[in-house]
Amino acid sequence: MTTTVLDDIGLLVTNDPTAGEGALGIVHNASVVFEGERIVSIGPAGQVADQRIDAGGRCVIPGFVDSHTHLVFAGDRGDEFAARMAGRPYEAGGIKVSVAATRVAGDDELTRLTAARRDEARRAGITTVEIKSGYGLDAHHEARCLHVAEGFTHDTTFLGAHVVPAEFEGRADDYVHHVCTDMLAAAAPHARWIDAFCEVGAFDADQCRAVLTAGRNVGLGLRLHANQLGFGPGVQLAVEMGCASADHCTYLTDDDIAALAASDTVATFLPATDFSTRQPYPDARRAIDAGVKVALATNCNPGSSYTTSMSFCIALAVRDMHMTPEEALLAATLGGARALRRTDVGHLTVGARADLVVLDAPSYTHLVYRPGVPLIALTIERGA
Ligand code: NIG
C-alpha cells in the first residue's frame, strides 16, 4: 500500500500528552506518515514515504469530531431565524416545519442535500460526524432519513422523540409508544444510537426514559438532548441512564454538574445554538473546573444552528464560555470522540485514523484569534 508523509509541520497537535507538550501533546517540527487510512509513524520533519505533502511549517491538528448534527433535512427556516433576531423566542415547534419539507423530499434530494452539508463540514475540517434523524417522525420517514445518514457515517442516531408530530397532537404518550415500538423497529437496523429531546414543549423525563430504555433493549447506545431551553430533569436522566452524552447543557444546576462530574456522561456543548437562539451560553468553566468531561459540536440543523463551522464553535467557547483555546480544541476533537465512545479518532497516534487538518496558521490559537477567517487549508480524512 502507498505511504504518504505530511511533512514540515511547524506545530503538531497529537492530543497525546505522552507524545509531546501539555494536554495537547504538542510536537514541533514534525511529520506524520500514514498508510491507507491509518497513521503508521509520527516523528521529526523529514520522514520519507512514497508521497509527500508539504505543510509549509504550519499547524496541524486532528480532524474535528462533530458528535451532534441533524444533517438530513429539506427546506429552509431562514424566516424563522430572522423573526427570532427581531425578538421572537426559539420554540421546539419549528421542528414541524422541517418535518413537513423532509417528508415530501425524494430520497435522491435528501441524499444530495446531506452530501452537500457533509462536504461543507469536511471543508471546515470535520472528519467524523454523527447524524441524527428527527425530521421524519413516522416509521417510514425516520427509517428513510437514517438510511440516508448511514451513507455518510457510522454514527447514526434515531431521534424519533424529537417533537410530537401533528398527527399525534395532544396524544404524546401514544406517540412515545409508537416511537418505542413500530418506529424503533424500522429505525434500529440503521442506527447506532438513540436520542430524545427532554424539554418543555417536547418530552418529559418519563417519556424520555421510556424511549431510551426501549432503545437500549435493542442494543442502541444512549444520548439525550438535555437542559437546552431551561433547567430541567434532562441531565440527571442522562446520568441515571448512563448516556454517552448529555447534549446542550445550557442550564446546569450545581447538582447537575456534580452528577455529570461523577459519571462517564460527556457534557456536549453546542454554542452555535445559543448564538443562533439568543440564549445564554453554558457555564463551561464551572463544569470543567468541577471535573465534567466536555465536548463541543456544531448541532448543524435548520432551526437552531445552521452552521458546519467547528472553528466558530471553538471561538464562541473561548470568547463566551471561558474555555482556554487548548480546552476548546480538545473538546472539538478528543471530546467529540469520547462523546461517541470512539477511540480511533480525535487524536494523532500510531494506529489512529489518518484524519488531519492543516491550518493556514502557525498555531491553533488562530482559530479564535482570527474569528470568521477560513483557516482550514487542507482536510485529510481516512488518509485521503
Ligand atoms: O438540537 N433541540 C432539538 N433539536 C434541535 C433543533 C431542531 C430544530 O429546531 O429544527 C437542536 O437544537
For ligand 1, atom 12, which residue shows the shortest CA distance?
304
Q: What pLDDT, on the 0 to 100 scale, is given for residue 90?
A: 84
- The string of DSSP letters for 187-224 reads HGGG-SEEEEEESTTSB-HHHHHHHHHHHHHTT-EEEE
Ligand 1 atom nearest residue 228's Cα? 2
- Cβ-contact 9, 60 below 8 angstroms: yes
Ligand 1 centroid – CA 266 distance (Å)? 19
- Report d(CA 198, CA 231) in Å as an integer: 11
Protein residue with its CA nearest to atom 11 in ligand 1: 304
**64-87 burial, b if ≥16 CB within 10 A, otherwise e?**
bbbbbbbbbbbeebeebbeebeee
Walk along the chain (384 residues) and give the pLDDT tens digit of each residue: 999 999 999 999 999 999 999 999 999 999 999 999 999 999 999 999 999 999 999 999 999 999 999 999 999 999 999 999 999 988 877 899 999 999 999 999 999 999 999 999 999 999 999 999 999 999 999 999 999 999 999 999 999 999 999 999 999 999 999 999 999 999 999 999 999 999 999 999 999 999 999 999 999 999 999 999 999 999 999 999 999 999 999 999 999 999 999 999 999 999 999 999 999 999 999 999 999 999 999 999 999 999 999 999 999 999 999 999 999 999 999 999 999 999 999 999 999 999 999 999 999 999 999 999 999 999 999 999
pLDDT at 383: 98
Q: Where are the domains of the chain?
A: 3-63+346-380, 65-339
Ligand 1 pocket, residue 62 CB under 6 Å: no
Smallest CA separation from ligand 1 atom 1, residue: 299
State whether the beta carbon of 34 lies less than 6 angstroms from ligand 1: no
301 touches ligand 1 (CB under 6 Å): yes
* pLDDT the model gives residue 271: 98
Ordered alpha helix ranges (H), the chain: 78-85, 95-104, 107-123, 139-149, 172-178, 184-187, 205-217, 234-240, 254-261, 271-276, 284-289, 310-321, 325-330, 336-339, 366-369
Tracing cell 447524524 back to the chain, one arrives at 131
Among 137, 301, 305, the mutation site with the greatest number of ligand 1 atoms within 8 A of its Cβ is: 301
Q: Which of 66, 69, 70, 73 to mutate to test the pocket of ligand 1 (most atoms within 8 A of CB)?
A: 70
Ligand 1 atom index nearest CA of 302: 10
312 lines ligand 1 (CB under 6 A): no
C-alpha cell at 95: 421542528
pLDDT for the residue 92 = 75
Closest CA relative to residue 294, chosen from 320, 271, 315, 319: 271
- Topology, domain 65-339: TIM Barrel (3.20.20)
Cα–ligand 1 centroid distance for 243 (angstroms): 19
Entry pTM: 0.98
For residue 92, report the distance from its CA to the centre of ligand 1, in Å.
Answer: 7
Q: Is 333 in the pocket of ligand 1 (CB under 6 A)?
A: no
pLDDT at site 91? 81
Q: What share of the chain is helix, strand, coil (3-state, %, to 5)?
A: 35, 25, 40
User: What is the predicted pLDDT for the residue at 336?
Assistant: 99
Taking only the tens place, the pLDDT of each residue in 270-324 is 999 999 999 999 999 999 999 999 999 999 999 999 999 999 999 999 999 999 9
Q: What is the CATH number of domain 3-63+346-380?
A: 2.30.40.10
